[in-house]
Structure formats: C-alpha cells, structure tokens
Structure 1
Amino acid sequence: MKRMIIVMCALMLGCFGLNASAKEGEASTGKSSGARIEMGKGHFKRDAKPFHYWDQAGEIPAPCARCHAAEGVPQYLKEGKNTPAKLVKNAYACTNCHADMLSYERNTVSKVTFPSELTVDTGNNDANLCMTCHQGRESTNSVNKAIGDKPVDTPDPKIAFIHVHYYPAGATLYGTQAKVAYEYAGKTYAGRYNHPKKMNQCTACHDPHSGELKREQCASCHDDEKTGVPETDAVELKKQLAELYAGIQQYARAVGGSALAYSSAASPYWYADSNGNGKVDPEELKPSNSYKAYTPRLLQAVYNYTFLIRDPGAAYHNGRYALQIAYDSLDSLAASGKAGIDMKGKVRP
C-alpha cells in the first residue's frame, strides 16, 4: 500500500509537474529542479491535431500509433512494431517516454532505425528516444521506388506525392547517415552535424516536454545582435527555398501542363492550381484536387522542398546537408531547361 501511494504521487508529480500549471497555459509559482511541464503545450497539447486526426475513424492505425498514441513508443521499443491504438484523450502519457515514474528514468533505446532502414546510435539515450519519432517516414528509397526507371521529364498520373512527415529533425541532423531527404545519384552528402559538446543532443536545445527552444542557452551562438555574426545558413536556405518553390511551379506549368501550389493546411499539401494564381485557394483545398502531373524530376524536387520546410530548424540541425539538398534540387530542375533556374554563381556546399 505504501509503495502504491508513492507511485501515485510520483505519477502526479511527473505528469503534471511540481511547477506545471493548474490550468493549461497558466503560469506557475512552484519551483522544481526537474524539467518543467505545462499542460496544453507540445507533447501535452491534448487538443492538437496530431492527437485527434483519427477521431472519426475511432482508433489510431498501427503505422501511426508509434508516435501518436498515448503509449505507442514503449510498444514499438518492445515489439519492433505497433498495433492499432485507442484514441488519445490527454495527449501523451508520462510512461510513453518514462520507464520508471519514481526515478523518471527514460525508456532505453539502443539505436534509431530510420525509414531508409539505416541505423545510428547517438551515444545518448535521450536523443535516441527523441529520434524514435522525430525522423520522418519516407526516404531516398521511397522516392526511387516510386519513380523507378520512368522517363525523368514525362508526366505520369501513377506518380503521387510522397510526404516525409512532420519534424524530421533527427534525419536532418544525421544527413546522409539517415538518407531520409532525397539524395541525388552520384552526389556526396554531409553526415552527422555536431554542435559544441554541451549542446550536442536534442534536450540541450529543446525542452523535452513542450519541444520549445531553450532560447537563452542557444542565444550565445545564434543571436545575431549578441554575436554580431549573421545566421548565414538560415539566410541562404530561406533564399534557396524561395527559388526552389518558384522553379517547381514554373517546371510544373511547362512540363506537366498544369500549375501546382503548396498549402500546409491539409494533406496532400500539393494541389492543382486551377486558376493559376500561384496559391491554393479555399475551393482548391480538397483531396480530389491533388496534383496529378508529376514527373520523376518534379517528385524529387517537391519531396525535398517539403522535407526542408517540415524541419523548421534544418539550417541549425545540419545547415550544410540542408543546403546540399536544396542546391541539388535546384540543379536538377535547372538541367531540365524548363524551370527558369540559373545556377551561375551558385556554389554547392
């Protein structure tokens, strides 16, 4: 009975935090030396779409349960796969990441297996645990399988958009050791990017519960006003992504015969731009209006563009790899002669 009471107290402290808010989003005056939990944020944002996408279906499908069920991670780590799961009511359970609610010990993750089937061990169990989900769901292999040996600039209605999925930060961090972004044949790519030792794992930069950046810790290197050093990778990647999007749209019109545009609002994200105004209007935002004139070259570029915007911190997680992916996507479209891209003056990182 005594142990049961201790466990119940530990669960309450662990799940709601000594200094967690009594109400979602409300500031707390409590103090704790441990990680701070705020209900309503990140992994505990119980009303967020990642926890309610399947409300109408009634359950979370097996392929999605690893990262979207309340306790999908422990099952995956134990069995190597997941079964369909119950709908989430309050986002993650503490036991999704914690193996012991007295010590708050995390589940043991010996290695990370990416969608490419490549594996890595970060050397840090917490980072391995984070990357169990933050890795994407597709890879170079997925795209190559979809395009096969089809003519590179011939539209094919059988080619459909492949979505890498959200926040694949671990894949960006490990670059070619993960091969989750699309890597063009004959090119070499950067591997793992290492931050300074004390900042070289996920929870050094991100709060493990909310996912938010620990801005004060990052500012010593990444605050332009304090360091006087501009974030060159971030600036350059933003520029190249704008060029890539414009090139994708021009190529689609010239080769596919119909315009396309991107919207983050809903799957499948890339839609036929029926009125040619360069954006997805509300009446165009429907699954039946998905773009249907992909060529192998276009799919490669669209996949990489989406990969880079799905990791908002790509320039910081692995700037060299991100810029290589952007450069090669631009270069491929430029080689078609149909995308209006000029590679003069551009240098591959």
Structure 2
Amino acid sequence: MKRMISLVLALMAAALLTPSLAAEPAAAQSKPAGARIEMGVGHFNRDGKAFHYWDKAAEIPAGCARCHAAQGVPEYLANGKNAPAKQVKNAYACTNCHADMLSYERHKVSKLTFASGLEVDAGLNDANLCMTCHQGRESTASVNKAIAGKALDTPDPALAFIHVHYFPAGATLFGTQAKVAYEFAGKTYDGRYKHPKQLDNCLACHDPHSGQAKVEKCDSCHTDKGDRIADYRSELKQSMDSLYAGIQQYAIKVGGVPLAYSSKASPYWYTDSNGNGVVDDDELKPTNSYKAYTPRLLQAVFNYTFLLRDPGAAFHNRSYAGQIVHDSLESLAASGQSGVNMKGRTRP
C-alpha cells in the first residue's frame, strides 16, 4: 500500500511540473518548423550599422524609417509613407514583419512600388513583404532627372553620386519591370526572372531572419557537374572588373581627375588624389567626394554600384545583370575615352 501511495504522489508531482500540451495556445503549437532567430546576423545584427546608425541621434529620418525603424514597415504599409521615428537600441522589431506574434502571421502586402514608381505583385505575400525594403531607393528615373539637359561628356560640378542603396535584390529580380538599375534609351531589357515554381520566392532561397541563402536548396538543381552558375558569377565579375577599369580611365581622360571606389564609407566614390587607383585612408573623407562627374560617368557608376549592392545578382536575374553591365561598357566605349573594347562581347 505504501508503495502504491508513493507512486500516485510521484505521478501527481510530475503532472504539476510538466506543462501540458493541451494548455498551450494553439498558435504557439503551430510555430513554423525550422523557424529560428540567430542574434548577430541579418535582421538581428545588434552591431550592424543598418539598425544602429542613429543610436546617438534623436530620431531616424522619415526617408530611412521605413526599413530601419523598429516599427517602420507596418507604418509604411498603413500610410504609404513614414514619419521620423524614435531610434531604439533593440533595433529591428519582430513586428516589422509579423502582424501577430502568436501565429507569426506576416503583414499583408498586395503589391509593392519601386523607387521608379512602377508597381508589381510577386504573386506571394511574403515576397512582396521582403521587397518592400529590398528594392533600392533610386532608379533610372532619378538618374535621368539629374542629367537632363546636360552634355553627355562634359563634367558638371552640380552632379553628385546617386546611391541605389543596399541589397536591391527585388529590383534585380524584376528587371525592367522595376527599372531601378540604369537602363539606356533605345535598349530592351529582361523582366522578372523565374526560378522553378517551388523556389520562385524569397523565402524558398533565403532564411527570413538571417537573410542567409539556403545553399542546400540550390544543390537540388545546381550540381558540381555541368553547373553554369559559378560561370555566370565569374562572367559577371569579369565584366564588372572591366567596367571599373573603364570608369577609372574615363574619369581621368574626360574629368581630368582620378576616381576610385571604397566600400568603407559614404559617398563611396572619392577623388584619388595620388592617382594610385585606390582610396587611401587620408582620402576617405566626405570633403574628398568625387566632383567631376559627367552624365555618362554617372550612369556607369550607378550601374556598377547597383551590381555591387546586390551580391546575388547572378542568381536573382543573371541576364538582366549582364545586360546593364554590357550596356554600361558599351556607353563608355562609345566615348572613345575609356579604353573599353567591345570586340568579342555579346549582350545577354
């Protein structure tokens, strides 16, 4: 009898200490399989500039708040614009993407508007939500506005670098349907690049929290044998290297001032005072920003930076990426001042 009583008491204690699955909210039980948060990367990079650039400031400017404020995305989706936002040190909030933190339901986004003013619908809510931010902030239209009425090869101190901004993957994906990369007049460009249906959305290829590519998904189609994707990346890099060399030579011959790029700080393109081809530490300062742009140079620099800002361009839309770099090279070659030779180059 004593043994029976002890067993009953032990079972009662275990029942009290062990949470019941039946007592859990239904939404909590339906948490997506594999969903996880890794601090220090992507949207949760506590040390990254993207969400902490304004830690010492009173607020985040309205133009930046959509994608950098703790609650910027839902405000933009509700109002179509943002007001200046208070900077908080816990940075990007989960509720920027999730409308409900029990069910993990995402905000509803029926369509998105690119910086060009063009609207698209990716056909999937989550993809529209991702591209609400991952689309760039400048476009063909803003470059054309800056160079309107100016002689193509005449330096103009009123011209300044136009920065597309970081990770414009959605703009690459949709190509000419977005018109964010600079498209040259008289040329035709590819539109949306479509992957196989099961992989034709942002979250099929990227972790939503870290942004990291799900490489194992790529392996299902892109194998080591006969795979062309590595070649596409290599070809694009070679074309970009040629474009950078052409930009530098054109800047010297037409602008009379050497130009070099540095990823370390805005405005990224600096006067190469000593002409050694790189931005040295003493040249890396806002007052040394490049000031001898011509319209042709601005077009080329915009596209080169666009491709740098989307490191996955060869995957997102390789033909469109190839077209804009090819046309930028062709434009520089037409000046006769860049050293670019188009012989043997084929437009994608």
State the TM-score, normalized to the length of structure 2.
Answer: 0.90
Retained in 1: the 8 A contact 2:57–2:87? no
Aligned to 1:305: 304
Q: Distance in 1 between matches of 2:228 and 2:185?
A: 35
Runs (4+) of structure 1 exceeding 3 A deviation are 226-230
Counterpart position of 1:254: 253
Q: What code does the residue aligned with 1:140 have?
A: T
Corresponding residue for residue 174 of structure 2: 174
- Secondary structure at the counterpart of residue 249 of structure 1: helix
Mapped to 2, the partners of 1:332 and 1:56 lie a distance apart of 43
SS of structure 1 residue aligned to 2:265: coil
Aligned residue number for residue 136 of structure 2: 136
Amino acid at match of 1:125: N
The aligned amino acid for 1:297 is R
Which stretches in structure 1 are left out of the alignment for 5+ residues? 19-31
Question: What is the CA-CA distance between 1:221 and the residue it aligns to?
Answer: 2.8
Residue 23 of structure 1 corresponds to which residue in structure 2?
A: none
How far residue 337 of structure 1 moved from its aligned partner, in angstroms, is: 0.2
Gap change, CA 1:222 and 1:263, over 3 Å in 2: farther
1:102 partnered with 2:95: no
How much does 1:233 deviate?
A: 2.0
- CA shift digits 1:184-215 (9 cap, x unpaired): 00000000000011100000000000000111
* Paired residue total: 325
* Rg larger in structure: 2
Q: Does 1:205 align with 2:205?
A: yes
| Residues 159 and 293 in structure 2, CA contact (< 8 A), matched pair in contact too | yes
Equivalent AA in structure 2 for residue 344 of structure 1: K
Change (3 A) 1:228 1:73: closer
- Of the structure 1 ranges 96-105 and 172-181, higher mean CA displacement relative to structure 2 is found in 96-105
- Alignment deviations for residues 117-160 of structure 1 (CA, whole Å, 9 cap, x no partner): 00000110000000000000000000000001100000000000
**What value does the CA root-mean-square deviation take over the aligned residues?**
1.8
- Residue 113 of structure 1 deviates from its aligned partner by 0.2
Shift of 1:90: 1.9
Report what 2:333 is aligned to.
334
> 5 Å matches for 1:156-235?
156-223=156-223, 225-229=224-228, 231-235=230-234
Give SS of 1:222's match.
Answer: coil
Deviations 1:256-299 (A, max 9, x none): 00101000100000000000000000000000000000000000
Identify the residue that residue 88 of structure 1 maps to in structure 2.
88
Contact 2:313/2:321 (<8 A) preserved = yes
Query: Which amino acid in the other structure matches residue 267 of structure 2?
Result: P
Partners of 2:72 and 2:96 within 8 A in 1: yes
Following superposition, the deviation at residue 6 of structure 1 comes to 7.6
Whole-angstrom CA distance in 1 between matches of 2:190 and 2:199: 20
Which residue identity does 2:249 align to in structure 1?
A: Q
Query: In terms of mean alpha carbon deviation, does 212-221 or 251-260 score higher?
Result: 212-221
**1:214-235, Cα deviation, whole Å (9 max, x unpaired):** 1111123334x25554533211
1:79 counterpart letter in structure 2? N
Distance 1:238 1:166 in 2: 18
2:153 is matched with 153
Q: Secondary structure at the match of 1:326?
A: helix
Q: Structure 1: how far apart are the matches of 2:76 and 2:255?
A: 41
Give the Cα–Cα distance (whole angstroms) in 2 for the partners of residues 97 and 315 of structure 1: 27
> Structure 1 counterpart of 2:156, which letter?
D
Q: Do 2:161 and 2:269's aligned partners in 1 also have CA atoms closer than 8 Å?
A: yes
| Unmatched runs of 5 consecutive residues or more in structure 2 | 1-22
Cα displacement (A) at 1:55: 2.5
CA drift of 1:302 comes to 0.2
Deviation string 1:240-263 (CA, Å, 9 cap, x unpaired) is 000000000000000000101000
2 CA distance for matches of 1:132 and 1:200? 17
